[in-house]
């Protein structure tokens, strides 16, 4: 549930055309990602297909333990592990996410496998608030600065996860925020 929105999602910009990027080497994937427990379970259910692509035992894909967090579906989350300086699910043979690639290769919907936090990046959430990821907010995201706003790039994902009504409200907020600049 979203109760508040940080206006920075309407003004913070980044390159955004990730698959056309030649300069970042998927730098946003260096920290791993938060994953709800239901998302983790869906990923682990496909371990047979993923293990050969990842080359790491499924028992090493996620940090141990879970954290109770009402912002996440199911009310709890964990985090993907970092292996060799990158998220365990980052493709080593090409750009992008193994989970996203597997979904596309098997004619599936990547939303069924890829974590919500990954799909929304660099928009994120916490305490029922939509906001910019820490990396975009503090300027350490290598592709920050030029391009579309975080909201513009996340709009379709926000529609998928939160629905048309919220996005209509966000569109109004985006318009009002840019009108006052």
Residues 1-34 have pLDDT tens digits of: 789 999 989 988 766 555 555 655 555 567 789 9
Please tell me the predicted confidence (pLDDT) of residue 75: 94
Report H helices in 92-163.
Answer: 98-105, 116-120, 134-137, 150-162
Residue 22 lies in a domain: no
Stated pTM of the model: 0.87
CB within 8 Å of 142: residues ≥ 6 apart: 23, 24, 27, 28
- Same domain? For 69 and 6 the reply is no
Task: Tell me how far apart the alpha carbons of residues 36 and 115 are, in angstroms, rounded to a whole number.
Answer: 7
4 occurs within a structural domain: yes
Do 38 and 112 fall into the same domain? yes
Residue-number span of the structural domain to which 181 is assigned:
1-17+121-181
Residue 102, in any domain of the structure: yes
Task: Give the C-alpha separation, 104 to 82, whole Å.
Answer: 23
Q: What is the distance between the alpha carbons of residues 158 and 153, in angstroms, rounded to a whole number?
A: 10
Q: Is residue 24 one of the residues assigned to a domain? A: no
The reported pLDDT for the residue numbered 27 is 56
Query: Is residue 13 situated within a structural domain?
Result: yes
**Is 8 in a helix, a strand, or coil?**
helix
Same domain, residue pair 68 and 88: yes
- Predicted pLDDT at 54: 93
Please list the ranges in the chain whose pLDDT falls under 50.
none
State the pLDDT at residue 51.
94
């Amino acid at each position: 549930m979203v109760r508040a929105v940080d206006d920075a999602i309407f003004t913070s910009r980044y390159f955004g055309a990730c698959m056309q990027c030649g300069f970042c080497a998927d730098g946003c994937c260096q920290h791993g990602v938060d994953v709800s427990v239901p998302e983790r379970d869906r990923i682990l259910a496909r371990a047979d297909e993923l293990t050969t692509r990842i080359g790491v035992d499924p028992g090493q894909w996620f940090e141990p333990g879970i954290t109770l967090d009402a912002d996440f579906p199911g009310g709890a989350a964990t985090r993907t592990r970092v292996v060799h300086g990158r998220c365990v699910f980052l493709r080593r043979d090409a750009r992008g996410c193994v989970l996203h690639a597997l979904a596309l290769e098997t004619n599936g919907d990547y939303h069924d496998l890829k974590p919500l936090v990954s799909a929304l990046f660099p928009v994120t959430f916490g305490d029922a608030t939509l906001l910019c990821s820490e990396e975009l907010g503090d300027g350490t995201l290598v592709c920050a600065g030029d391009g579309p706003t975080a909201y513009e790039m996340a709009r379709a994902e926000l529609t998928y996860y939160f629905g048309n009504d919220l996005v209509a409200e966000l569109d109004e907020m985006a318009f009002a925020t840019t009108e006052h600049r």
